[in-house]
Amino acid sequence: MDEQGLLESFRQCFGAEPTYLVRSPGRVNLLGEHVDYNDGPVLPAAIDRAIWMAAQATGGSEVELFSLDFNERVTIRLDAVSQKVAVDGKALPGWALYPAGVAWALQQAGFRVGGIRAVYTSNLPIGAGLSSSAAVEVGFGMLWNEAYRLGIERLRLAELCQRAENEYVGLACGLMDQFASACGVEGHALFFDTRSRQWQALPLPPGTVIVIADSGVRRSLTSSAYNERRQSCEQAVELLRQYLPGIRALRDVSPTEFAAYSEFLPPLVRRRAEHVVKEIQRVFSATNALRREDSRAFGALMYAGHASLRDLYEVSLPELDTLVEIARSLPGCLGARLTGAGFGGCTVNLVEMEQAEAFIQGLKQAYQQRTQRQAQVYLCRASAGASVKVIAGNLPG
């Protein structure tokens, strides 16, 4: 849907003129998978697929939402947001928990949030691992921040949106998704240290584009599978602490130290920890590759990361492996790997710009031949973070 269509949908829904147009991007993670809960650094990029919202601040006490993608409307009272029910007493639908959670998190942090009306839609595939939920959260956080002049800087806003997802929606996630959506820089990857919260934007290699391939397999990372991997990492830290007493997380274990002491870990725990320790090192190596514009080295690290996720962390699937194998065989592909938690979703590919269209067609055709599945393949560019544009009307005081 284009901008005019979104504005017209708002007028039809609420019989009023919208005041704000909000864009909040999804993200793709280029390197650094399953390291955020080990205090490691990550390397995401915001992408030019996003949540789009037309909105109005009412100054009242209700949040009126219409999701064009679900064709559902709901109204929430701000003084009852903690109850997770709409004004009619029914439980909030899943899609409405994200904006409601942001209102809750802002209130918990002591900010005054007023009423809004919003119509929104997305061209992010839901459940594909491109962080549509974080994009919704950050979009609504940016809207309240702008409309009610809350003065929250972007990283702090991302933290509040993460709290909404963790404590209100009830989904465990690190800060990377909300951070990338809030702080994206056009044409750049974002080196983000999840421990220190320091970050730096690094230009992507010249003459390259990001291609995202959706396997068509929806992620089925169950809480038990996710928790098992987290527990393995925690167990590794406990056991390695006997030999490395100063460590707080796997972030603190160097590859050399791991090589020296990994024999004291049970085989499964060793594999999980080896992925994390080496993946963290790959992120540092990748940032150096970006600084020297070495796209070949960066791509090789992507391939190595996928092999580690497949063989050591065991979160890949045959469909994802097939996409990476095909990509590797096609001209112009510099690197490929699964992105996101795994068990379905997407791969991310770094591709030479001049070969991108042929790469996309070749990947689609070969994937269908080998799996009898259709892959949705998107050419993306690294985008700026979420933004709010004032389009009409009076701002609340």
Based on its alpha-carbon atoms, the radius of gyration of the chain, rounded to whole angstroms, reads 22
246/345 same-domain check: no
Q: Are 230 and 366 within one domain?
A: no
Residue 123's pLDDT band (cuts 50, 70, 90):
confident
- Indicate if 78 and 188 belong to the same structural domain: yes
DSSP labels, 172-239: ---SHHHHHHHH--TTEEEEEETTT--EEEEEPPTTEEEEEEE-SPPP---HHHHHHHHHHHHHHHHH
Q: Which residues are catalytic?
A: 177
Identify the bridge partners of residue 200 per DSSP, sorted by sequence position.
191
Residue 297 lies in a domain: no
Give residue-wise pLDDT tens across range 65-116.
Answer: 999 999 999 999 999 999 999 999 999 999 999 999 999 999 999 999 999 9
Nearest to 350 by CA among 245, 207, 158: 207
Q: Is there a single domain that holds both residue 165 and residue 262?
A: no
Q: Do 214 and 234 have their domain in common?
A: no
What is the number of structural domains in the chain? 3
Q: Do 19 and 109 sit in the same domain of this protein?
A: yes
Mean pLDDT of 262-281: 98
Could you tell me if 216 and 227 lie in one domain? no
Q: What is the tens place of the pLDDT at every residue in 335-347?
A: 999 998 888 889 9
Q: Give CA–CA dist 18/236, Å, rounded.
A: 53
CATH number reported for the structural domain that contains residue 27 in this entry: 3.30.230.10
Domain extent at residue 280: 222-292
CATH number at residue 286: 3.30.70.890
41: pLDDT strictly greater than 90: yes
**Unique residue bearing structure tokens 């037309």:** 54
Annotate 276-345 with DSSP letters as a single string. HHHHHHHHHHHHHHHHTT-HHHHHHHHHHHHHHHHHTS----HHHHHHHHHHHHSTTEEEEEEESSSSSS
Query: How confident is the model over 360-387, as a mean pLDDT?
Result: 95
- CATH number of the domain that residue 356 is part of: 3.30.70.3170
Same domain, 230 and 113: no
Please tell me whether residues 217 and 90 are part of one structural domain.
no
Is residue 67 in some structural domain? yes
